[in-house]
């Protein structure tokens, strides 16, 4: 038994010494990491975004938010998608009363009268205003109207 133990110890020591580079004055190794591609989307409401002017027979263009999108994958232009939750500005007390509007962003405009996603190319890192022009006829029911805009980055 002692002979086997001595043989095992001798083999273990020899194996350890065969990988020992104590006589070398230089060593190296490689380290590797990966950064996952990601995008950051920032929405900043513009002052008075919750106080739109909806009186009158002609709607005026009104800014509601600034949107900034940055991706770390080197793209200069990034596709963003926008949609209306209500398909327009919905009256708080009467869901049948809806004010349609045109959205303006990054040189694009589209009518918000559906709940479809609308594609817009935006410059990476740039604050881009999101504005709306309500379609008013002067006969809207008195009260508060609201909508929620959803925005997301299109992933390739």
Residues 147 and 90 sit within 8 Å (Cβ to Cβ): yes
- Collapsing DSSP to helix, strand or coil, 146 comes out as strand
Q: What integer is the mean pLDDT of 59-80?
A: 92
The fraction of the chain above a pLDDT of 90, given in percent, is 58
Report the C-alpha gap between 21 and 38 in whole angstroms: 42
pTM: 0.73
- Is the predicted pLDDT of residue 1 greater than 60, yes or no? no
Q: Is residue 54 very low, low, confident or very high in pLDDT (cuts 50, 70, 90)? A: confident
Write down the domain spans for the chain.
39-153
Report the C-alpha gap between 60 and 135 in whole angstroms: 9
Average pLDDT value for the chain: 83
Res 156: pLDDT = 64
pLDDT tens string 96-134 = 899 999 999 988 999 888 889 999 999 999 999 999 999
Q: Nearest-CA neighbor of 83 among 46, 27, 130?
A: 130
- Collapsing DSSP to helix, strand or coil, 75 comes out as coil
Assigned CATH for 39-153: 2.60.40
What is the side-by-side order of every strand in the sheet holding 118-123? 118-123, 77-84, 149-153
- The residue ranking higher by pLDDT, 56 or 43, is 43
Report the C-alpha gap between 52 and 145 in whole angstroms: 9
Report the C-alpha gap between 130 and 105 in whole angstroms: 5
Res 102: pLDDT = 93
């Amino acid at each position: 038994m002692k002979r086997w133990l001595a043989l095992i110890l001798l083999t273990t020591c020899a194996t350890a010494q065969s990988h020992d580079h104590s006589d070398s004055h230089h060593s190296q190794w490689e380290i590797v990491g990966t950064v996952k591609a990601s995008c950051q989307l920032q929405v900043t409401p513009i002052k008075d975004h919750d106080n739109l002017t909806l009186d009158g027979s002609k709607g005026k263009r009104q800014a509601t938010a600034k949107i900034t999108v940055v991706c770390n994958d080197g793209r200069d232009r990034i596709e963003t998608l926008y949609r209306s939750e209500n398909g327009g500005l919905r009256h708080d007390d009467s869901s049948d009363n809806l004010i349609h509007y045109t959205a303006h962003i990054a040189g694009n405009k589209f009518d918000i009268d559906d709940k479809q996603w609308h594609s817009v190319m935006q410059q990476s890192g740039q604050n881009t205003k999101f504005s709306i022009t309500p379609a008013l006829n002067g006969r809207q029911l008195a009260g508060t109207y609201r909508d929620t805009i959803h925005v997301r980055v299109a992933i390739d």
